[in-house]
Amino acid sequence: MDSTACLRLPFLPARTRPSSSSSSSPRRAARASSIKCCAAASDAGASSASISSASPRRPDVVNGVGPAGVEGLAGPPVPVPDSPAPASRDLHWLPRPLTSADLMGVSGEGLKVAYQGCPGAYSEAAAKKAYPNCQTVPCEHFDTAFKAVENWLADRAVLPLENSLGGSIHRNFDLLLRHRLHIVGEVRLAVRHCLLANPGVKIENLKSAMSHPQALAQCEHTLTEFGIEHREAVDDTAGAAKTVAEQNLQDTGAIASSLAAELYGLNVLAENIQDDKDNVTRFIMLAREPIIPRTDKPFKTSIVFSLEEGPGQLFKALGVFALREINLTKIESRPHKKRPLRITDDSFSTPSKQFDYLFYMDLEASMADPKTQNALGNLKEFATFLRVLGSYPTDDEYAC
């Protein structure tokens, strides 16, 4: 310990005590001797710890707190050797901890966003709409995108949940329950399907169309009008475009986005070939941690629960929200895979097996609203299972 670290004692007025020279003199003498030794050690450049071998050496830092100051208060933390402390006691020179706002701004800069499919997929377009400056991470399967976030390979996952024409994507509902990620946002994307083919190929040359099953279903009537009879389903739309380009198929076209045509060097033979022009897909954003709900902007809360068998049970569950004027925007039932069958027995029929169901529900409400908390507390009283999947801002617009 450097000699300059010797503690200087502030001047304190002496207390009035009865004269007791015999008892105070030794103490005063010992104290004076101690101060004198400290000063002598300072002149000689020696460490104050070497004055007395009986007293243990005072540590430089205790629980992250530096040496005591003049007034006996804790000083700033001792800097690391590579960062010498400045002469002043201004604490602004200390580096502050990084926050999520530093690493991930509103534009998503610094975020890694996982999605299912190849580059050029609609899921990638949804990720770019949600986080314009993010780094997208393509994944082979939906489950892979979940695991990428769980294993810290990505910060977010953007996955489709429902389409205005094809309905719900049940696979992702099941994955929401299997994994422990939280919904932190949603985005709606207008889907504009294009018929793509290799250079030189015309529509009349095509005998088959390749794409995702939902994309094929959304373009069924248009493909029939084109005279394309055969359908070939693959995992994603951009993957279909990639296959057509890599294999240089001359009699097969791909249904994908115009961005996929640019990426894989295909020609756009027809645009907006979906049967219904109002074709919108709702995507959700998933993260390892939930966001803090608010009440100053529209929020949506997604939950999943199960009920006991009996008349009026679902009616009772819906009533906890109706009584509090909480609007429901979606309800979806899925078989309970952990309890797929339930045996029922009554006095009027023989025992039978029935499905147990999970109910997925979206509420136009924020978890920060007390009436939402009260409604879920009421539901929990008779539900056999309840889990909040996320409370997040509502996306009321979609990209055209």
Q: Is residue 342 part of a domain?
A: yes
Residue ending a domain, choose from 241, 273, 305 = 273
Q: Are residues 239 and 317 in the same domain?
A: no
Q: Are residues 254 and 389 in the same domain?
A: no
Q: Are residues 342 and 392 in the same domain?
A: yes
Distance CA 324, CA 161 (A): 27
Q: Are residues 314 and 387 in the same domain?
A: yes
Q: Are residues 285 and 297 in the same domain?
A: no
pLDDT of res. 233? 94
CATH code of the domain covering residue 201:
3.40.190.10
CATH code of the domain covering residue 386:
3.30.70.260
CA angle 34-37-41, nearest 5°? 140
Q: Which pTM does this prediction carry?
A: 0.69
Q: Are residues 143 and 177 in the same domain?
A: yes
Q: Are residues 393 and 296 in the same domain?
A: yes
Q: Are residues 266 and 374 in the same domain?
A: no
Q: Supply the residues annotated as catalytic.
A: 281, 283
pLDDT of res. 109? 73
Q: Are residues 153 and 282 in the same domain?
A: yes
pLDDT of res. 51? 35
Domain that includes residue 241, residue range: 194-273
DSSP per-residue letters across 107-158: T-TT-EEEEESSTT-HHHHHHHHHSTT-EEEEESSHHHHHHHHHTTS-SEEE
Q: Is residue 37 part of a domain?
A: no
Distance CA 320, CA 304 (A): 15
pLDDT of res. 35? 40
Q: Could you list the mean pLDDT of each consecutive 10-residue stretch along the chain, which spans 400 residues?
A: 45 47 44 41 40 41 40 44 50 52 56 94 95 94 96 96 89 93 96 96 96 92 94 94 95 96 96 91 96 93 93 94 96 77 51 74 96 97 96 72
Q: Are residues 297 and 374 in the same domain?
A: yes
pLDDT of res. 351? 52
Q: Are 272 and 192 in contact (CB under 8 A)?
A: yes
Q: Is residue 54 part of a domain?
A: no
Residue ending a domain, choose from 273, 305, 339 = 273
pLDDT of res. 277? 84
Cβ neighbours of 126 (radius 10 Å): 27
Q: Are residues 299 and 369 in the same domain?
A: yes
pLDDT of res. 260? 95
Q: How many domains, the chain? A: 3
- CA 2 to centroid of chain Cα atoms: 49
Q: Is residue 362 part of a domain?
A: yes
CA distances from 318 to 161, 186, 245, 325 (A): 22, 24, 50, 11
